[in-house]
Amino acid sequence: MKIRNSFTRLIVIPALLLSFPNVVFARTMAPKPSQTGETSTAKVIQLLQESGYLHRKTGENTWLIERQGKSPILLATGAEFVVLGIVVAVKKNIRASGDLNFKLLKLNHSLDYVKAGFDDDDDLFVRVELRIRTVDLQAFKLMVEDVIDGADKALEVVTPFLLTP
Protein backbone atom coordinates (compact mmCIF):
# COMPACT_ATOMS: atom_id res chain seq x y z
CA MET A 1 0.00 0.00 0.00
CA LYS A 2 2.85 2.37 0.78
CA ILE A 3 4.31 1.84 -2.67
CA ARG A 4 1.00 2.63 -4.40
CA ASN A 5 0.50 5.86 -2.36
CA SER A 6 4.06 6.99 -3.08
CA PHE A 7 3.60 6.20 -6.77
CA THR A 8 0.37 8.21 -6.82
CA ARG A 9 1.91 11.20 -5.07
CA LEU A 10 5.15 11.25 -7.04
CA ILE A 11 4.03 10.31 -10.55
CA VAL A 12 0.29 10.37 -11.16
CA ILE A 13 -0.64 13.68 -9.50
CA PRO A 14 2.20 15.72 -11.13
CA ALA A 15 1.42 14.07 -14.48
CA LEU A 16 -2.24 15.11 -14.21
CA LEU A 17 -1.29 18.66 -13.23
CA LEU A 18 1.04 18.95 -16.22
CA SER A 19 -1.62 17.56 -18.53
CA PHE A 20 -3.90 20.52 -17.81
CA PRO A 21 -1.56 23.51 -17.37
CA ASN A 22 -4.13 26.09 -18.51
CA VAL A 23 -6.48 25.11 -15.73
CA VAL A 24 -3.91 24.72 -12.99
CA PHE A 25 -1.66 27.70 -13.82
CA ALA A 26 -4.21 30.10 -15.34
CA ARG A 27 -3.60 32.86 -12.82
CA THR A 28 0.19 32.81 -12.98
CA MET A 29 0.44 32.58 -16.77
CA ALA A 30 -1.89 35.43 -17.74
CA PRO A 31 -0.44 37.41 -20.64
CA LYS A 32 1.04 40.83 -19.87
CA PRO A 33 -0.54 43.81 -21.58
CA SER A 34 1.76 45.53 -24.07
CA GLN A 35 1.98 49.04 -25.37
CA THR A 36 1.04 49.82 -28.92
CA GLY A 37 2.69 52.35 -31.18
CA GLU A 38 -0.41 54.54 -30.91
CA THR A 39 -0.30 54.42 -27.11
CA SER A 40 3.40 55.36 -27.12
CA THR A 41 2.78 58.25 -29.50
CA ALA A 42 -0.12 59.55 -27.44
CA LYS A 43 1.95 59.37 -24.27
CA VAL A 44 4.87 61.25 -25.86
CA ILE A 45 2.55 63.95 -27.20
CA GLN A 46 1.18 64.41 -23.69
CA LEU A 47 4.69 64.51 -22.17
CA LEU A 48 5.86 67.08 -24.72
CA GLN A 49 2.86 69.31 -24.01
CA GLU A 50 3.23 69.02 -20.23
CA SER A 51 7.01 69.58 -20.32
CA GLY A 52 6.79 72.92 -22.07
CA TYR A 53 9.67 72.11 -24.42
CA LEU A 54 9.58 73.85 -27.79
CA HIS A 55 9.13 70.98 -30.24
CA ARG A 56 7.88 70.08 -33.68
CA LYS A 57 6.69 66.85 -35.26
CA THR A 58 8.91 65.54 -38.05
CA GLY A 59 7.28 62.20 -38.79
CA GLU A 60 4.67 59.73 -37.64
CA ASN A 61 6.60 58.82 -34.48
CA THR A 62 9.39 61.43 -34.48
CA TRP A 63 9.85 64.94 -33.10
CA LEU A 64 12.58 67.52 -32.61
CA ILE A 65 12.96 69.34 -29.31
CA GLU A 66 14.50 72.70 -30.14
CA ARG A 67 17.48 74.08 -28.20
CA GLN A 68 18.53 77.70 -28.58
CA GLY A 69 21.67 77.81 -30.74
CA LYS A 70 22.44 74.10 -30.35
CA SER A 71 21.65 70.85 -32.11
CA PRO A 72 18.05 69.75 -31.51
CA ILE A 73 17.14 66.67 -29.52
CA LEU A 74 15.75 63.92 -31.73
CA LEU A 75 12.85 62.03 -30.20
CA ALA A 76 11.35 58.79 -31.51
CA THR A 77 8.90 56.22 -30.22
CA GLY A 78 8.17 52.62 -30.97
CA ALA A 79 5.60 50.20 -29.62
CA GLU A 80 7.32 49.91 -26.24
CA PHE A 81 10.12 52.48 -26.15
CA VAL A 82 11.07 56.14 -26.35
CA VAL A 83 14.49 57.36 -27.53
CA LEU A 84 16.00 60.83 -27.20
CA GLY A 85 19.29 61.64 -28.86
CA ILE A 86 21.58 64.38 -30.12
CA VAL A 87 23.99 64.22 -33.03
CA VAL A 88 27.16 65.68 -31.50
CA ALA A 89 29.29 65.72 -34.65
CA VAL A 90 28.83 64.57 -38.23
CA LYS A 91 31.28 62.18 -39.88
CA LYS A 92 32.72 64.69 -42.34
CA ASN A 93 33.86 66.91 -39.43
CA ILE A 94 35.47 64.17 -37.35
CA ARG A 95 39.13 63.24 -37.63
CA ALA A 96 38.79 59.60 -36.59
CA SER A 97 41.59 57.92 -34.66
CA GLY A 98 42.20 55.19 -32.17
CA ASP A 99 42.78 57.86 -29.52
CA LEU A 100 39.32 59.34 -30.17
CA ASN A 101 37.70 55.90 -29.99
CA PHE A 102 39.49 55.17 -26.71
CA LYS A 103 38.34 58.47 -25.20
CA LEU A 104 34.76 57.84 -26.34
CA LEU A 105 34.79 54.38 -24.76
CA LYS A 106 36.00 55.93 -21.49
CA LEU A 107 33.26 58.56 -21.80
CA ASN A 108 30.65 55.88 -22.41
CA HIS A 109 31.78 54.19 -19.20
CA SER A 110 31.42 57.42 -17.20
CA LEU A 111 27.94 58.34 -18.47
CA ASP A 112 24.96 57.13 -16.45
CA TYR A 113 21.80 56.10 -18.33
CA VAL A 114 23.24 57.47 -21.60
CA LYS A 115 25.16 55.89 -24.42
CA ALA A 116 27.51 57.51 -26.88
CA GLY A 117 28.57 56.00 -30.17
CA PHE A 118 28.60 56.19 -33.92
CA ASP A 119 25.35 55.70 -35.83
CA ASP A 120 24.91 54.03 -39.24
CA ASP A 121 26.11 57.24 -40.96
CA ASP A 122 29.22 57.31 -38.71
CA ASP A 123 27.98 60.47 -36.98
CA LEU A 124 28.74 60.75 -33.27
CA PHE A 125 25.55 60.56 -31.20
CA VAL A 126 24.49 60.54 -27.58
CA ARG A 127 21.15 58.96 -26.71
CA VAL A 128 19.01 57.66 -23.91
CA GLU A 129 16.23 55.11 -24.29
CA LEU A 130 13.63 53.74 -21.93
CA ARG A 131 10.59 51.53 -22.03
CA ILE A 132 7.64 53.89 -22.51
CA ARG A 133 5.62 52.32 -19.69
CA THR A 134 8.20 53.58 -17.15
CA VAL A 135 8.27 57.18 -18.40
CA ASP A 136 6.31 59.86 -16.58
CA LEU A 137 6.86 63.63 -16.79
CA GLN A 138 9.69 63.59 -14.25
CA ALA A 139 11.47 60.72 -16.01
CA PHE A 140 10.98 62.42 -19.39
CA LYS A 141 12.58 65.65 -18.16
CA LEU A 142 15.46 63.66 -16.67
CA MET A 143 15.94 61.93 -20.03
CA VAL A 144 16.19 65.33 -21.73
CA GLU A 145 18.67 66.58 -19.11
CA ASP A 146 20.73 63.38 -19.31
CA VAL A 147 21.03 63.49 -23.09
CA ILE A 148 21.99 67.18 -23.04
CA ASP A 149 24.59 66.59 -20.33
CA GLY A 150 25.95 63.57 -22.21
CA ALA A 151 26.17 65.55 -25.46
CA ASP A 152 28.05 68.36 -23.71
CA LYS A 153 30.54 65.86 -22.30
CA ALA A 154 30.91 64.12 -25.66
CA LEU A 155 31.55 67.46 -27.35
CA GLU A 156 34.37 68.16 -24.88
CA VAL A 157 35.95 64.81 -25.78
CA VAL A 158 35.53 65.13 -29.54
CA THR A 159 36.45 68.83 -29.95
CA PRO A 160 40.22 68.19 -30.35
CA PHE A 161 39.36 65.73 -33.14
CA LEU A 162 37.03 68.01 -35.11
CA LEU A 163 38.15 69.37 -38.48
CA THR A 164 35.78 72.33 -38.15
CA PRO A 165 34.72 73.13 -34.59
Q: Which domains does the chain have, with CATH numbers?
A: 1-30 (no CATH), 34-161 (3.30.1460.10)
Q: The whole model's pTM is what?
A: 0.76
Among the residue ranges 76-80, 115-119, 161-165, the one predicted with the least confidence is 161-165
- DSSP of 72-136: EEEEEE-SSEEEEEEEEE-GGGB---HHHHHHHHHHHHH-SS-EEEE-TT--EEEEEEEEGGG--
Instruction: Tell me the average pLDDT across 50-67.
Output: 96
For residue range 60-100, what is the model confidence (pLDDT) as tens digits? 999 999 999 899 999 999 989 999 999 999 999 999 999 99
